[in-house]
DNA sequence: GTCTATACGCGGATAGAC
DNA sequence: GTCTATCCGCGTATAGAC
């Protein structure tokens, strides 16, 4: 791995752990094992490096989500699988956390990938829900755009609760809670299981 | 208002706007219109001042929430009223945002009020739901602890989505979404309205 | 491409005068 | 109680040698 690559990876880690304001060029260089001069040769400065790091993290996050969304199964199954996917809960969402960084939000270039990623997630979930409704897998009373926003918000808020409590438990509860609420809108017809059971 | 008071208020504002790492003693002093010496006379340093600010914000937040929770009306009404209450959405949650501040989370003293506030909120909402179930206002299938976590997470995550989009719209959608999901569990019996209508 | 040197203001405080 | 002076290291680069 060359210097530029190590710099981007170190920046990604530090942005996740400490945010933009809390991350200094010096810390990035040290973690990457790269000198001052080298960093400024490859990147114009902290914002430039942060942009590369944020873009990569955003791309990765979309790819991981899309893998769940385009898997086989009913819409409800895929949404549930996405919600239950393994996550580094206590570290929080590497994209969502940037939302609290005033210097990131103040810079349209840095903000764009954050905005786009979260907007894409909502859109994609709403599409899945619409698809599920059309196939009769989901109750017609379920409103895709608002419900999709709720699902993404539950994830983002779940991270907040987990970090506050220093425990994954509230995150798991929040997920179990939405899944329970959504279950009331899943048509039991196509499956041969019993009625939905209340989950922990 | 004396110097100590102005310092605490300025700190509250800055913690909300810029977080702990992004807030310097100098910035606090300038906003408060107070000199260096005065600040260090009244407070031991940045963490001490932050503690006073965080505690006050936490107390205020609980008081505002409790005002909704203990109002007259059914449990569902009070939960809905709490969710729909006016908020400075684009500024985010002054308590929830601290969750992203590594220096706050690393200090047990600073972290405690954040943890307690969010834990209290979940507990209180779960109590309301239990009460509603016992009175037959809410469906017995609704699980109070997990659903309460979902409700708080939706709020916290709604702030994240709104800040990312620089628009209150996704926040409003997320709230509308949970309210829609919860509506399926509200017993229609005691009211004389028609069946729940899908909301925007 | 990478290193070392240099710069200048800020972050976060302490000391002592008034 | 509040002010001014002083401190030291960090944040965020730029310059120029190798």
Q: Report the residue from B164, B173, B184 with minimal CB separation from A118.
A: B164
| Domain boundary assignment for chain A | 57-183
Q: CA-to-C1' distance for A28 and D9, Å?
A: 18
Query: Residue A102's pLDDT is what?
Result: 98
pLDDT (tens digit, 9 = 90+) per residue, A146-171? 999 999 999 999 999 999 999 999 99
Query: Residue A188's pLDDT is what?
Result: 72
Which residue intervals of chain B are DSSP H helices? 3-18, 25-32, 36-42, 46-69, 75-84, 102-105, 108-134, 144-165, 169-183
pLDDT (tens digit, 9 = 90+) per residue, B36-95? 999 999 999 999 999 999 999 999 999 999 999 999 999 999 999 999 999 999 999 999
DSSP single-letter state for residue B172: H
Could you identify the residue written with the tokens 């009211």? B191
* The two structure tokens encoding residue A116: 């786009």
- Residue B42 half-sphere exposure, CB side, CA atoms within 13 Å? 17
Helices (H) and strands (E) in chain A, counts: 9, 0
Q: Which residues of A67-86 are buried (b: 16+ CB within 10 A; e: fewer)?
A: ebbeeeebbbbbbbebbeee
- Look at the alpha carbons of A125, A126, A131, A133 in this order and tell me if their dihedral is positive or negative: positive
CA dihedral A62, A63, A66, A67 (to 10 degrees): -150
For an interface test with A, give the residue of B98, B149, B176, B188 to mutate (most A CBs within 10 A): B149
CA-nearest of A158, A122, A163, A162 to A143 is A122
CA dihedral A76, A132, A65, B144 (to 10 degrees): -40
* B143/A18 CB distance under 8 A: no
Query: Residue B181's pLDDT is what?
Result: 98
Tell me the count of A-B CB pairs closer than 8 A. 213
Distances, alpha carbon A81 to alpha carbons A58, A77, A107, A143, A154, in Å: 20, 6, 34, 20, 15
Closest nucleotide relative to residue A39's CA, C1' based: C2
* The two structure tokens encoding residue A138: 């989901």
Secondary structure (3-state) at A186: strand
The arrangement of secondary structure in B55-183, i.e. its CATH architecture, is Orthogonal Bundle (1.10)
Nearest protein residue to the C1' atom of D2, measured from CA:
B38
Q: In percent, how much of chain A has pLDDT > 90?
A: 92
Residues of A in contact with B182 (CB under 8 A): 181
CA-nearest of B44, B41, B56 to B11 is B56
Please check whether strand D approaches the CB of B6 to within 7 Å: no
Q: CA-to-C1' distance for A55 and D8, Å?
A: 37
Which of the pair, A139 or A191, is modelled with greater confidence? A139
For the cut 90, the answer to whether the pLDDT of residue A46 exceeds it is: yes
Q: CA-to-C1' distance for B3 and D3, Å?
A: 14
Cα separation, A44 vs A56, whole angstroms: 17
Residues of A in contact with B174 (CB under 8 A): 146, 149-150, 152-153
pLDDT (tens digit, 9 = 90+) per residue, A115-131? 999 999 999 999 999 99
- Closest chain A C-alpha to B37 CA, distance in angstroms: 27
DSSP single-letter state for residue A73: S
* A181/B181 CB distance under 8 A: yes
State whether CATH 3.30.420.40 applies to domain A57-183. Answer: no
Cα separation, A92 vs B153, whole angstroms: 13
Read off the pLDDT of each residue in B13-32 and give the average, rounded to a whole number.
98
pLDDT (tens digit, 9 = 90+) per residue, B113-148? 999 999 999 999 999 999 999 999 999 999 999 999
Q: CA-to-C1' distance for B45 and C14, Å?
A: 12
pLDDT (tens digit, 9 = 90+) per residue, B155-170? 999 999 999 999 999 9
Residues of A in contact with B141 (CB under 8 A): 180, 184, 198
Could you identify the residue written with the tokens 């409800």? A76
Task: Please give, chain by chain, protein residues whose CB is below 7 Å from any atom of strand C.
Answer: A 2-4, 34-38, 40-42; B 21, 23-27, 36-37, 40, 45-47
pLDDT (tens digit, 9 = 90+) per residue, A27-44? 999 999 999 999 999 999
Q: In percent, how much of chain A has pLDDT > 70?
A: 94
CA-nearest of A16, A90, A107, A104 to A60 is A16
User: Which residues pair with residue B186 across a beta bridge?
Assistant: B138
């Amino acid at each position: 791995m060359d210097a530029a690559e190590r710099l981007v990876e170190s920046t990604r880690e530090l942005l996740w752990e400490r945010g933009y304001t809390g991350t200094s060029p010096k810390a990035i260089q040290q973690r990457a094992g790269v000198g001052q001069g080298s960093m400024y040769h490859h990147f114009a400065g902290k914002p430039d490096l942060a942009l590369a790091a944020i873009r990569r993290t955003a791309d990765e996050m979309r790819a991981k989500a899309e893998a769940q969304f385009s898997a086989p199964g009913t819409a409800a199954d895929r949404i549930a699988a996405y919600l239950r996917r393994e996550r580094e809960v206590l570290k929080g969402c590497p994209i969502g956390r940037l939302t609290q960084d005033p210097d990131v939000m103040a810079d349209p270039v840095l903000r764009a990938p954050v905005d786009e990623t979260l907007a894409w997630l909502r859109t994609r979930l709403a599409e899945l829900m619409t698809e599920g409704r059309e196939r009769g897998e989901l109750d017609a009373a379920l409103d895709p755009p608002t419900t999709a926003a709720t699902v993404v918000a539950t994830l983002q808020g779940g991270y907040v609760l987990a970090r506050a409590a220093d425990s994954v438990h509230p995150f798991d509860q929040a997920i179990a809670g939405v899944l329970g609420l959504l279950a009331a809108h899943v048509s039991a017809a196509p499956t041969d299981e019993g009625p939905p059971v209340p989950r922990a």
